[in-house]
Amino acid sequence: MNRRSLLKLTGASMAGAALLSVPGMATAKTPAAYRPGVLPTPSANSPILLNFNENSIGMAPSAERAVVASLSKAFRYPDDQRAALVTALAGRFGVSEKHLSLGNGSSENIQAIVQALVQQARSRQQAVQLVVPDPTFNYAELYAKAQGVPVVKVPLTAQMLFDVAAMQRAAAGFDGLSIFYLCNPNNPTATLTPGKVLQDWVAASSDKQFFLLDEAYAEFVTDPAFVSGIEWVKAGRQNVAVTRTFSKLYALAGLRVGYALAAPALIEQFEAFMSLDNTNLAGAVAALASLQDKDFQQRSVSSVNRSRAIVTQALDELGLRHVPSHANFVFHEIKGSVKTYQERMKAQHIMVGREFPLAVGWSRLTLGTPEEMTVFVRVLKSFRQKGWV
């Protein structure tokens, strides 16, 4: 189930609506800006949102200033700003601008890549399948199914890691193109697949295997075992594409800016399936300012690291298992019904993550600010005293 469907079914959209303030509408007040060191008091009007892997510290002040300054130009198309962002990204990764494609969030890049590969395979009268670990972020699956492409789901191992051998077998027994969608670190588990494992796999692959590497959380990784797929793009691999986003580390989820990196010939194919003018002015200038703001990036990573330590220490104290996290969320055990746990947290005005199929009894928890996680831990421990977790 994707984020949009979940909002409709659970009523969690009410929490999001509470954050809006539109003249003439009876809505709740917008919550105050993040204040380091001040513990929030969650309420119906200002809940703590720990369910969608957003970055609760908010966008960089430099990005906010850039957005405000851009408003006087909002009646013009953002061609120059978009071009500046592409140039900056190319410089950041040491590639040409032809290696890059901007998206309306990386979800659009994923959609275009899947569509382009499926169209190309079918034009060659070649069968095509999507192979994914399970559970994982499901947008590639949704886009594939919409085109009638079969999806092979390979369960994670007992350690909640990719079962690489099983995914390789799924492709070996298929006469056609196999698209591997690999989110690394994985969502919802926050687990990391070492670069050496992926490197060997990619190196041994054939032209009937394509690797779509979703690195939405790569900027949070500190483990030296991680190797970005961008390295294989730079090495000239023609069967690798990498997607990244400004929604997580850079806290720009609402401005919808993502991008893909691949060989220029592949980017040209993908661009044919991208919407025109898909990067808005505010998103472009905010992304560019954020990309150049090293202090904010360090602050963002530091906030997540502190929050992770607060949560994992509490989980250890309570004897609740959790998967080692390499992202801005933690996948942890709940002893009891996850749905009931969600409802009880919601009653405390804290929105927590859902349960994923094949991982019954586990919840994905977004790491908010350290102050938010301190409040969350207090509530979680009160649940233990009541015998609820």
Per-residue pLDDT at 14: 45
Give the separation between CA 380 and CA 389, rounded to whole angstroms.
8
Give the separation between CA 375 and CA 279, rounded to whole angstroms.
37
- Residue 367 φ/ψ, nearest 5 degrees: -90, 105
Q: Which two tokens stand for residue 271?
A: 């661009």
Domains detected in the chain: 3-59+294-385 (3.90.1150.10), 63-292 (3.40.640.10)
Residues 109-167: tens digit of each pLDDT: 999 999 999 999 999 999 999 999 999 999 999 999 999 999 999 999 999 999 999 99
Q: Measured on CA atoms in the order 6, 12, 18, 23, is the torsion positive or negative?
A: positive
The helix (run of H) or strand (run of E) holding residue 306 is helix 294-318
Per-residue pLDDT at 358: 85
Which positions of the chain have pLDDT values less than 50?
Answer: 8-31
